[in-house]
Amino acid sequence: MTRFERLRKEALEACQWRGHTMRLSRHTVLGRRVRGTWYCTVCDASMAVDTHPDPNGIDIIGDAVAVECQECPPDEDSLEDPEWKG
């Protein structure tokens, strides 16, 4: 498995866990550097993967990795705190 495939799989799993339906937007190869950009078809949040980011950059970035899909209703179980029964 290449570095790009591993990063892509990891990022798409995180997006799917947050309820996003991702679609490839752009894929660029510049020598050893491979970049891919995806977006959510429901809420338009984006996610990008870069195999060789700049010194101050990161290899996985985007709203789709960090926040839940805005069009998905919250899961009933996620609203309850299992530690507190009031």
pLDDT tens string 19-56: 999 999 998 998 889 999 999 999 999 999 999 999 99
Cα separation, 86 vs 67, whole angstroms: 28
- 23: which strand partners? 39
Cα separation, 3 vs 50, whole angstroms: 9
Domain ranges of the chain: 3-70
pTM over 0.85: no
Say which residue the tokens 């990022």 belong to.
11
Q: Check whether 82 has a pLDDT greater than 90.
A: no
CATH topology for 3-70 is N-terminal domain of TfIIb (2.20.25)
Supply the pLDDT for residue 72.
58
Supply the pLDDT for residue 1.
83
Helices and strands, number each (H, E), in the chain: 3, 4
